[in-house]
Chain A
């Protein structure tokens, strides 16, 4: 199993979610995060004092999938999240040793 983690622009979330549902991904966890990469933040001004706000709001998706599906899932996320503009984000995958469905106690790929 693989944990696919994607950091994407907040407004592409619905597109990514729809594309993943189409290829049979049954669940995901989403969180609001902040960070920066090549895209820098913005400047804010309060009573003449300028602040550089480095961290840009992003959405993080976490999905655990079977090993065979991982490459497809990564491709689908990249395709549906891309705008071509700076700040589109990153997608990466990590091996997962153990997975348990809390309700039934099923383990491994059965718990997906």
Chain B
């Protein structure tokens, strides 16, 4: 196979950009929880990087991108352990080394699993979540990645378009988050008690890192340093901006205030919405998709109060809802092939992804809850996960502390 130096440099750099999104997510989410749970949120994200990268290497990459086992449903274990690194990835015509592609896609699996920490904020066990995430990547993420991203996948073959993971990352994590929230149950005191973010500056920093990393996520998904990458780059920036503006305008209209958290959330909502479309739409369409993403996000985060499920940091509202909006809009706004047929295929992908992710996540989470345990005890939840599970405090602001033992 032919390896292009420019393409390879871009994909390798993009892989690092996408990795950086998960520590960014730790800050984004960490700022939104109460100060007694912030370290638990961060270490769940760091732990996710570690376990998902290992599981990806051992099995999940091959299930997602290995030679199709039949019907476009799942890959075989031919590439398990990242075997056969010099052979072309099945179905692709890559100009980058397969290991560059495998590493880039590894970071996608990491961030998608990490998104689920947001729905389980303040009440999820560290060990239980890592077990859950390991199984989830194999059973939920890898098949959906195979269907949509692998040219041998059944949705790919039907013509479904997903440039950088509107289905595979956003709708997948949103639907999974809903199932996880239902299995975990509501936080004690929600929605009556005040559970305000403890540090929005951390959240803004995290949103900035996500925004930055998203250039690798979207423009890197061109898998080459070419025009599609440039198209995705500009789409990404424009949608983040109109997403931010759309969220703030609606928020100002509904509550009377344009908030910092709204700006950070709106940018992410716009980025989510453009993810499936980034390299497939022109700049004007990107402006519109981002705007509708931001508006969708600010309206969707209110739904959980109506239906009383505690999706704590709005993974369903932001990633699920805005992912659906972007995926469907692509059906009518794509530069090539837009129309009723494409819209129908996009809708099929949305429905299948939601059904698979929701059902399997519900089963995995229930199984982990009944064996390892997924939800902490009420005492731990009240004390705070940081001191109770991890024996640490994020902020040592006073000087009245206990002495050292032993």
Contacts and interface: CB of A to CB of B under 8 A. Distances in A.
Q: Place the interface of chain A in its size category.
A: under 10
A51 to B, nearest CB: 5
A105 to B, nearest CB: 25
B191 A49 contact: yes
A47 B265 CA distance: 8
A50 interface: yes
A45 B259 contact: yes
B196 A47 contact: no
A48 B301 contact: yes
B255 A45 contact: yes
Interface string B238-274: 0000000000000100110101011001000000000
Contacts of B298: 47-48
A44 B196 CA distance: 9
A53 B259 CA distance: 17
A11 interface: no
Interface in A15-74: 44-51, 53
Contacts of B301: 47-48
Interface residues of B, number: 17
A48 B194 contact: no
A55 to B, nearest CB: 11
B261 A46 contact: yes
B194 A47 contact: no
B265 A51 contact: no
Interface string B276-317: 000000000000000000000010011001000000001000
A48 B295 CA distance: 13
Contacts of B314: 47
B194 A53 contact: yes
A51 B302 CA distance: 14
26 contacts: A44-B196, A45-B251, A45-B255, A45-B257, A45-B259, A46-B197, A46-B259, A46-B261, A47-B261, A47-B262, A47-B265, A47-B298, A47-B301, A47-B314, A48-B251, A48-B254, A48-B255, A48-B298, A48-B301, A48-B302, A49-B191, A49-B305, A50-B255, A51-B194, A51-B196, A53-B194
Interface of A: 44-51, 53
Closest 4 CB pairs of A and B: A51-B194, A47-B301, A45-B255, A48-B302
